[in-house]
Amino acid sequence: MSSVQTNSAISVDCVIFGFDGENLKALLVRRRNADPLYDDGGHKLPGAMIRENETLPEAAARVLEASTGLKDIYLKQTSIFSDPDRVDQSELQWICQYHGIKTDRVVTVGYYALVKLDPGMVSYTKRQGAVWMNVDDIHHLIMDHMDILSDALTVLQKDILWSPIAFNLLPKKFTVRQLQNLLEAVFGIELDNRNFRKKLFSAGVLVETDEYEKHVSHKPARLYQLNKSLFSKKNIVNFSTFARIINI
C-alpha cells in the first residue's frame, strides 16, 4: 500500500454561462489577474484551490462570487480532471509558488454556473478584468480548460432538458422569444415559433404578466414568468418540458 497518493491538491474551475437574449456566453479571465508577473496572454476559466473545511460546492460558490458578486446561484459539478500530467512542470511550479504549497499533482473539478446577463453584470465583471465571450467563438484556453468548457456545455445541454435551469439564464420576466432564442443557442437548432408557443403554453410552465417589453421597434412582446407553483415539491426532477418541445 506504499503507492497510495495522499497529497493531491484539489482545485475547482467554473464555467460561468450567461445569456444576453441572443447568444450563450462564458466568462473568462486572464492569468495576469492572479499574478501580473505571469501572463502568457491566454484566457482561462475562473478557478481556485479548495480550502480546509470547505466542500467543493463551497469552493465553487466562492469562485463564482469572486467573479460575479453573486451568491446562491445555480452551480453544478460536471467532471473531474485527474490526468497526472494535466499540469506541466513549469505550470505546477508556478502554482506551488503562488499558493505556497507543495504538491506533485493538481486534480481539478469542473463546475458550471448559470447567470442572468444584464448590463449591471457585464460592467461588474468588466471591472474584475473578466470578459464574456460567445461560447461558439472560444477555441483556445490554457491547460485543459477547453476540455472543461466543452464538457460543461455537453452537461448543460442534457440538464436543460430535464430541469428548469434554463430560467436561471433569463431575467425574472422574459419574452417567449427570449426563451426560444436560448434553446436555439444552447442546442444550435431552429424551432418553429408557432408550435413552440403551443407546446410551451400547453405545458403550463409559464405565467403571463401584464407587462410588455419596451423600446423595441415593433410590437412589444408580453413578458412571462416561470410558474413556480409547479415546483413546490420535488417535481423539479420531473421537468421534461423542453425534452418534449425539442424533438431531440
CB 20 within 8 A of CB 51: no
Q: For DNA, which residue of 68, 108, 125, 175 counts as binding (CB under 7 A)?
A: 175
List the single partner that 216 binds among its own copies, DNA, none, CB under 5 to 8 Å by kind.
Answer: DNA
Residue type, 172: K
Site mask for its own copies (CB under 8 A), range 143-182, x = bound:
---------------x---x--------------------
Identify which range of 15-23, 72-80, 173-181, 226-234 contacts its own copies by CB under 8 A: 72-80
H or E element at residue 216: none
Rg (CA), the chain: 20
Q: Does residue 192 bind DNA (CB under 7 A)?
A: yes
Q: Which cell is 117 given?
A: 446577463
In residues, how long is the chain? 248
Interacting span for its own copies (CB under 8 A) from 24-32, 190-198, 225-233, 236-244: 236-244
Q: With beta carbons less than 8 A apart as the criterion, state whether 223 and 211 touch.
A: yes
- 127 lies in the binding site for DNA (CB under 7 A): no
Q: Is 222 in the site for DNA (CB under 7 A)?
A: yes
Closest alpha carbon to 50 in 59, 38, 37, 61: 59
Assess 100 for contact with its own copies (CB under 8 A): yes
Task: Examine residue 89 and tell whether it contacts its own copies (CB under 8 A).
Answer: no
CB 121 within 8 A of CB 18: yes
Q: How far is the CB of 194 from its own copies (least distance, A)?
A: 22
Name the residue among 37, 33, 36 with its Cα closest to residue 48: 33
Shortest Cβ distance from residue 15 to its own copies (Å)? 16
Q: How far is the CB of 163 from its own copies (least distance, A)?
A: 10
